[in-house]
Structure 1
Amino acid sequence: MTEETHEKLKEIKQSFRLLMNGVASHSMRQKGVEYKINWGVPVPELQQMAAEYGKDYDLAIELWKEDIRECQVLATLIMPAERMDNDLVDVWMERVRTQEMAELLAFHLLQHLRFAPSLAYQWIASDKDMYQLCGYQLLARLFAQGLEPNERGINEFLDQAHVTLQGDNLPLKHAAYNCVLSFCELGEELETVAKRALKDLDIL
């Protein structure tokens, strides 16, 4: 780590004390959102901070290593998408332990990667809950951008969503359901396909 990056990291970590929201931090802990440190700083304030620092690969790498919620959120905001490759995505995903971080990583960063679609399809079929969750979040973003899957992609998605929606993991079911709704927004034809594929679940 360069001296400049080290100083920025130190400055950022110190600034969180001033922005601390004890009520939000306590509420997150009660909901099982566990980090070594969680200052409860709202995401919009972290977005303002990210705008001040701009895109910074080296700083993002160091922030993500910290077991501090705000550092990791900030990392998703300042990492240049074009610098993320498959190996780095794998390294980052290994540290995702909360639903919030899975959602923010997909929303702030992963949806902008050139290989986002292949990641999303790979992850919704994963046996790891956090990867599945992030995969559905990512796919929902891509559908919302108008990414229309080919026939194989449609079948893969609806087959996997069907399995997930029959499971008992509520956050995962919620993510899959929202993803199905985004898929249906792509047009009447695809909505009809989804209704037919998920007919026995009676959710559409």
Structure 2
Amino acid sequence: MDEQIHEKLKEIKQSFRLLMNGVASHSMREKGVSYKINWGVPLPDLQKMATEYGKDYALAIELWKEDIRECQVLATLIMPAEKMDEDLVEVWMERLRTQEMAELLAFNLLQYLDFAPTLAYKWIASGRDMYQLCGYQLLARLFSRGMEPNERGINEFLDQARTTLEGENLSLKHAAYNCVLSFCDLGEEFDVIAQKALADLNIL
């Protein structure tokens, strides 16, 4: 790591101490959100910090390596989407530990990648909880932005959503359900398809 990045990293970590919110940090721990270090810094503060630092590939790489909530949130905000290739996405996914970070990674960064739809479909069918969670979050974002899947995509998505909704994992079921709602919001035609495909589950 070059000296300049090292200094920035040190400076960022020190600034978290000043913004620390012990109540939020404690509350997250109680809800099972576990990071090695969690200062409980609110998202708007981290967004403001990201604006000050601007897009920075090298810094984002180093921030994501830290098992510190705030470092990872900041990494998702300052990584330039155009420099994120599939290999790097895979490296980042391997460090994904919490539902919060899966949501933020999808929202702040992954939805802007050219190959986001491919990732989303691959992940929801992966059988790995954290990947599936991130996949549903990502797909929901893409649907919300008006990305209409083709017939094959529709069938793949609804088949996988059904499997998840019939499963036991509550946070996954919640993510899949929200994703189905975003799918229905694409228009009446999509709403009708989802209603028919998932009618027996009585969720819509």
Q: Which TM-score applies when normalising by structure 2?
A: 0.99
Name the aligned partner's letter for residue 148 of structure 1.
E
Check if 1:171 corresponds to 2:181: no
Check if 1:114 corresponds to 2:125: no
Which residue of structure 1 aligns with residue 66 of structure 2?
Answer: 66
Once residues 203 and 31 of structure 1 are traced to their aligned partners in structure 2, the CA distance between those partners, rounded to angstroms, is 26
Which residue of structure 2 aligns with residue 152 of structure 1?
Answer: 152
Name the aligned partner's letter for residue 46 of structure 1.
L
Once residues 159 and 192 of structure 1 are traced to their aligned partners in structure 2, the CA distance between those partners, rounded to angstroms, is 15
Which residue of structure 2 aligns with residue 126 of structure 1?
Answer: 126
Which residue of structure 1 aligns with residue 18 of structure 2?
Answer: 18
What is the root-mean-square deviation in Å for CA atoms of aligned residues? 0.4
Q: Which TM-score applies when normalising by structure 1?
A: 0.99
Per the alignment, in what secondary structure is the counterpart of residue 37 of structure 2?
coil
Per the alignment, in what secondary structure is the counterpart of residue 126 of structure 2?
coil
**Post-superposition shift, 1:199?**
0.5
Which residue of structure 2 aligns with residue 52 of structure 1?
Answer: 52
Which residue of structure 2 aligns with residue 81 of structure 1?
Answer: 81
Name the aligned partner's letter for residue 48 of structure 1.
K
Once residues 149 and 20 of structure 1 are traced to their aligned partners in structure 2, the CA distance between those partners, rounded to angstroms, is 42
Tell me the alpha carbon deviations over residues 89-132 of structure 1, each in whole angstroms, 9 at most, x when there is no partner.
00000011100000000000000000000000000001110000
Once residues 40 and 170 of structure 2 are traced to their aligned partners in structure 1, the CA distance between those partners, rounded to angstroms, is 24
Name the aligned partner's letter for residue 30 of structure 1.
E
Name the aligned partner's letter for residue 199 of structure 1.
A
Once residues 27 and 186 of structure 1 are traced to their aligned partners in structure 2, the CA distance between those partners, rounded to angstroms, is 36
**Post-superposition shift, 1:34?**
1.0
Which residue of structure 2 aligns with residue 181 of structure 1?
Answer: 181
**Post-superposition shift, 1:137?**
0.2
Which residue of structure 1 aligns with residue 139 of structure 2?
Answer: 139
Once residues 178 and 150 of structure 2 are traced to their aligned partners in structure 1, the CA distance between those partners, rounded to angstroms, is 20
**Post-superposition shift, 1:35?**
1.1
Tell me the alpha carbon deviations over residues 146-202 of structure 1, each in whole angstroms, 9 at most, x when there is no partner.
000000000000000001001111110010000000000111011100000001101
Which residue of structure 1 aligns with residue 198 of structure 2?
Answer: 198
Once residues 67 and 145 of structure 1 are traced to their aligned partners in structure 2, the CA distance between those partners, rounded to angstroms, is 31
Once residues 194 and 51 of structure 1 are traced to their aligned partners in structure 2, the CA distance between those partners, rounded to angstroms, is 39
Once residues 13 and 25 of structure 2 are traced to their aligned partners in structure 1, the CA distance between those partners, rounded to angstroms, is 16
Once residues 93 and 13 of structure 1 are traced to their aligned partners in structure 2, the CA distance between those partners, rounded to angstroms, is 22
Name the aligned partner's letter for residue 32 of structure 1.
G
**Post-superposition shift, 1:36?**
1.1
Once residues 165 and 44 of structure 1 are traced to their aligned partners in structure 2, the CA distance between those partners, rounded to angstroms, is 33
Which residue of structure 1 aligns with residue 96 of structure 2?
Answer: 96
Structure 1, unaligned runs of 5 or more: none
Which residue of structure 2 aligns with residue 2 of structure 1?
Answer: 2
Per the alignment, in what secondary structure is the counterpart of residue 122 of structure 2?
helix
Per the alignment, in what secondary structure is the counterpart of residue 67 of structure 1?
coil
Once residues 9 and 63 of structure 1 are traced to their aligned partners in structure 2, the CA distance between those partners, rounded to angstroms, is 7
Once residues 184 and 140 of structure 2 are traced to their aligned partners in structure 1, the CA distance between those partners, rounded to angstroms, is 10
